[in-house]
Amino acid sequence: MSWRDQLKIHPAADLFPLMLEPELRELADNIKARDGIHFPIIVYDGKLLDGRNRLDAAELAGMTFDWEGGRLWEGGRLTALVHHLDRSVDPYEFVISANIHRRHLTEEQRREVIAKLIKAKPEASDRAIAKKVKRDHKTVAKVRKKLESTGEVSPVEKRIGADGKQRKSRAKKKPTPASSIDKLFEGAAPGRVTESAEVSAEEHRAEMARLDEPTEIDEVDKRLNCVFKTIERHVEGLSRTDTDRFIRGLRELIDQIGRTS
């Protein structure tokens, strides 16, 4: 009977990938030469936390195990030291600290470790995870963003930093509402003009008539001066084609305001 049939594996143990067959055979030869497993097998809450590769290699070397009384035996002989981790220790942090230095992981494998850790502990901040896996927090943020976009993890309102303190996640900035003038350039590309109806002679005369209506001159001058400055700021640096487009759009906007007023 395999040890896997007797001992359940803790989810944290799956943070790191298993050894490839050539590596496993090399470890099996080492265990056979040393007549047993000399590095402790770690168990947490009755489940294997660290030692999957060592046990697989030992079986490959011809050893069989019996899991009795929280210990591994072979033919009545204790073959591996088993350490039961205290429940106060975070199993995920233990697995990372025990394996991050002993493993030669590719960048892709490290990203997989980051993704598994985010799924297991989404409340952990990017910096806290980055500190554990020895990577930049920006890398963690990219992995988290991808997981959130695919729905594999949900955004959390508060995250726990490397110092153990809980903080609110940074809220995404809401886009500033576009002004009426800004909307005139929506989807515009330099040097290209979208179709727009020309102002008819009747509409032009109606526009001029509205401008000729009696108003308080001082107030009109103030408002016009403000509008002119705004227009000047928006058209500065535009090509002649885009400037013409802006003027046509402005006329349409003025007509629309006139119809609703």
According to the model, what pLDDT value does residue 191 have?
Answer: 44
**Contacts for 79 with CB less than 8 Å, ≥ 6 apart:** 36, 37, 58, 63, 65, 72, 73
According to the model, what pLDDT value does residue 197 have?
Answer: 44
According to the model, what pLDDT value does residue 247 have?
Answer: 80
Euclidean distance between CA atoms 99 and 78, whole angstroms? 25
- The pLDDT profile of the chain, 261 residues, written as one tens digit per residue, is 788 998 999 999 999 989 989 999 999 999 888 877 888 899 999 999 999 999 999 899 888 888 877 777 766 666 677 899 999 999 999 999 888 877 777 888 889 999 999 998 888 999 989 888 888 899 999 999 999 999 898 888 777 766 566 666 665 555 555 555 555 555 444 444 444 444 456 665 665 566 555 544 566 666 777 777 777 776 676 677 777 777 887 787 777 776 665
According to the model, what pLDDT value does residue 261 have?
Answer: 57
Nearest to 37 by CA among 4, 85, 73, 84: 73
According to the model, what pLDDT value does residue 207 have?
Answer: 58
Please state the three-class secondary structure of the chain as a single string.
Answer: CCHHHCCCECHHHHHCCCCCHHHHHHHHHHHHHCCCEEEEEEEECCEEEECHHHHHHHHHCCCCCEEECCEEEECCEEEEEEEECCCCCCHHHHHHHHHCCCCCCCHHHHHHHHHHHHHHCCCECHHHHHHHHCCCHHHHHHHHHHHHHCCCCCCCCEEECCCCCEEECCCCCCCCCCCHHHHCCCCCCCCCCCCCCCCCHHHHHHHHHHHCCCCCHHHHHHHHHHHHHHHHHHHCCCCHHHHHHHHHHHHHHHHHHHHHC
According to the model, what pLDDT value does residue 172 have?
Answer: 53
CA 74 to chain centre: 46
- In the chain, where the domains are located: 3-84, 105-168, 180-260
Residue type at position 29: D
